[in-house]
Amino acid sequence: MGLTSTKVLVLAVVAAVVLFLATVLLWPRLARGGWRSVVGRVGLLLLTQVTLFAAVGLAANRSFLFYGSWADLFGQEQDMGVVVDHGAGSKDLRVVGKQAVDVPGGGRPEVGGQIQKVVVAGERSRIVSPAYVYLPPEYFQKEHAGRTFPASVVLTGYPGTAENLIKGLKYPRTAYEQAKRGRMQPMVLVMLRPTVAPPRDTECVDVPGGPQTETFFAEDLPKAVSEAYRVGKGARSWGFMGNSTGAYCALKIALHHPDRFAAGAGFSAYYRAAEDVTTGDLFRGDDRLRKRADLLWSLDHLPQGRSSFLVTTSLKGEDNLRGTREFVRKVKSPAEVSSITLESGGHNFNTWNREIPPGLVWMGGKLSAG
């Protein structure tokens, strides 16, 4: 049974419950004196706590996919990846794997679309990062052979994995379902994590003397994808969306690069670059760069292009309500802004899964293929 399987999680929960009940029932008998009773009490308490922590750990890993297998957990996965070129037409992008989409008929690309695992090599930034590209069913259908598609970059939070976007947040399946119901146009999704220089959190900024993360996302990534797939090259064909750190990045890139991205959607965004032990010194004392990384400052002091923005928050559970309202207030024409405000919802997958379907529909309405 796999590390992320439901059976393993259920067994751990059942074991924890059984041991808890056993402790309650056997405690009077083990309350007697003697070393055997002491050992019995200590043993039951330890076993109960171990199974409880195991159940919680398995549940957290299943949600956030920190480890994909037992071998991964115990550090036994040491084999190097093998790069296989499947013919994508870009020197900056290589396809290294393909997988079906979790939808009816997903085994056939012309029915369910396809997810391709790729490696992107930034021409200007020199950053190399893995990513997943979701191609809708129409991409493989003969009647759409000459069609180009809009695309959106999709980022996780920090330190999440790109797999979270597929398994936990279900972007490909949601995009497939929304398009099938006629609520949005078919769209290519380019899914990856913001940590393109791991383990450092670069907050999607060009670090002086360090990783040029903003250049990678704003210039290298759309160029590589447009050369490899039938995706429009103009700004009207490109959007950017994400959650948490990915949300900050999406709004930041769309705000600072309206000539490359027509829209940015931030689910549970914050509006100022984090600076902590995970980021290190992002600005090297350059106050101009620090201010530019503050989206609210940028809205006040930098020209606003024709970008569209979507921001989300909740009245209870999120700590970005005030910042989100301020962001909405500061957006001025020719830019435009929309928002989603939930009655309650924390900074978690459950909240984002309530926002992603309407967010994808909104994004599809802001982009065009040409």
- Cβ-contact 240, 214 below 8 angstroms: no
pLDDT at 62: 65
Q: Other C-beta atoms within 10 Å of 71: how many?
A: 13
pLDDT at 80: 40
**According to the CATH classification, is domain 93-366 in 3.40.50.1820?**
yes
Whether the CA torsion 122, 128, 134, 138 is positive or negative: it is positive
CA-wise closest residue to 311 among 357, 360, 265: 265
- In one letter, which amino acid is 242? G
Reported as a single tens digit per residue, the pLDDT across 54-87 is 888 887 776 655 555 666 566 554 444 444 444 4
Reported as a single tens digit per residue, the pLDDT across 205-233 is 999 999 999 999 999 999 999 999 999 99
Reported as a single tens digit per residue, the pLDDT across 174-199 is 999 999 999 999 999 999 999 888 88
Reported as a single tens digit per residue, the pLDDT across 320-348 is 999 999 999 999 999 999 999 999 999 99
Instruction: Kindly provide the residue ranges of all beta strands, DSSP E only, lying in the chain, ordered along the sequence.
Output: 93-99, 114-121, 128-135, 151-155, 188-192, 238-243, 263-267, 308-316, 336-344
Residue 1: which pLDDT band, with cuts at 50, 70 and 90? low
Q: What is the pTM of this model?
A: 0.78
Domain ranges of the chain: 6-73, 93-366
